[in-house]
Amino acid sequence: MKTSAFIIGTSLLLFGAFSNSAVWARQKSWEPADHFWQTQWQKVYRLFGGNEQAIYFSGTLLVPFLVFWCVNGVYMVADVTGKPNFITRYRIQLGKNDPVDTKKLLQAVRTVLFNLFFISVPLVVLTFPIVKWWGDPCREELPTFRWVLIELLIFGLVEEILFYYSHRLFHHPLLYKHIHKKHHEWTAPVSVVALYSHPVEHLLSNTLPVLFGPILLRSHITSTMLWVCIALAVTSISHCGYHLPFLPSPEFHDFHHLKFNQCYGVVGILDYLHGTDTLFKQSQACKGPDPMPRAGSIPDSPRKAK
């Protein structure tokens, strides 16, 4: 009895000490950061003169578009020129897009620009009054750093669910031929192909899965801006065709473009649950002995399991 009381008492003391330490660490690190970013946000808010429409459109359209084209600009230079070597040496599908067909690339760029300016922009403009009524995204008080991290996690899960099922739906024969086939014209994709799609697909599979999380959580425009920038950068990397060190591997989605009926999701959770990643698991991309990025890491056909 005495031993049990000692163990329980000691555990409670250690738990209390840990809790106090965690609170102290939070006050010393996170709270000053929250104050710093709140100050910067107030400066931005005053810079726009409190014009919430301008703030919202800048955060959901202007800044993410700049991020998208900056990322894709680097990859397109590598695709067209074959340089710099520290990028092109990590090409996944050897002999593909080396160099890229510039006419086909320009066609993709025109389609992406059309989707951005005639689908994304009108959607954001038309839905702003609803978003404003629902969540007041441009309020003067920023969310805490901790809440932003939680939001990003939820956004990712929401996108995974909506993108997986909408993407898989577009692979149905009745829809694939008329809508999704356009995106799969590129069996070896390049980064800008991330948004190369039929307008219906761009709306339902590219845009809504990304924006639904922030709308659902009534997120602040800064959280939405950060998330949309991350989502656009990640999907660009997923389509870039290069497995660069220290960046997320694009091999999962590259394999989808190669095989069509595998790897439908973003992070692979639902592919694992539905068994739509089996061929990818059998491929050299997963079974190769070298864990580091390497050229030609996806073969023409998956290695047979022994």
Distances from the Cα of 115 to the Cα of 103, 184, 257, angstroms: 19, 16, 20
Integer Cα distance of 47 and 257 in angstroms = 44
Q: What percent of the chain has pLDDT over 90?
A: 68
Would you place residue 300 in the very low, low, confident or very high pLDDT band (cuts 50, 70, 90)?
Answer: very low
Whole-number pLDDT of residue 299: 44
pLDDT exceeds cutoff 50 at 110: yes
Cα dihedral 210, 216, 217, 218 sign: positive
Integer Cα distance of 87 and 132 in angstroms = 42
Residues 6+ positions from 243 with CB-CB distance below 8 Å: 90, 92, 249, 250, 251, 293, 294, 297
pLDDT exceeds cutoff 90 at 30: no
Q: What is the 3-state secondary structure (H, E, C) of 8-60?
A: HHHHHHHHHHHHHHHHHHHHHHHHHHHHHHHHHHHHHHHHCCCCHHHHHHHHH
Among 105-119, 179-193, 244-258, the minimum mean pLDDT is found in 244-258
Whole-number pLDDT of residue 22: 44
List, for residues 276-289, the tens digit of each pLDDT value: 999 988 875 455 54
Integer Cα distance of 155 and 176 in angstroms = 27
For 71, half-sphere exposure in the C-beta direction (CA atoms, 13 angstrom radius) is: 24
Residues 6+ positions from 270 with CB-CB distance below 8 Å: 160, 161, 164, 165, 264, 276
Report which secondary-structure segment, H or E, holds 75.
helix 63-81
Would you place residue 68 in the very low, low, confident or very high pLDDT band (cuts 50, 70, 90)?
Answer: very high
DSSP string, 182-233: GGGG-SS--GGGGG-S-HHHIIIIIIHHHHHHHHHTT--HHHHHHHHHHHHH
Q: Which of 300, 303, 297, 271 is nearest to 91 (CA)?
A: 297
Coil, strand, or helix at residue 242?
strand
Would you place residue 64 in the very low, low, confident or very high pLDDT band (cuts 50, 70, 90)?
Answer: very high
Integer Cα distance of 115 and 196 in angstroms = 8
Whole-number pLDDT of residue 26: 53
User: Would you call 194 exposed, middle or buried from its count of C-beta atoms within 10 A (0-12, 13-18, 19+)?
Assistant: buried
Sorted by where each begins, the domain ranges of the chain are 42-287
121-147: average pLDDT? 95
Q: Which of 253, 241, 292 is nearest to 99 (CA)?
A: 241
102-130: average pLDDT? 97
pTM, two decimals, is: 0.85
Q: Which residue has the higher pLDDT, 298 or 207?
A: 207
Whole-number pLDDT of residue 45: 94
Integer Cα distance of 144 and 34 in angstroms = 6
- 82 φ/ψ sector (left φ>0, alpha ψ -120 to 50, else beta): left
Q: Which of 126, 109, 145, 147 is nearest to 211 (CA)?
A: 126
Q: What percent of the chain has pLDDT over 70?
A: 83
H helices of 89-217, where?
A: 102-115, 121-135, 145-170, 173-176, 199-201, 208-216
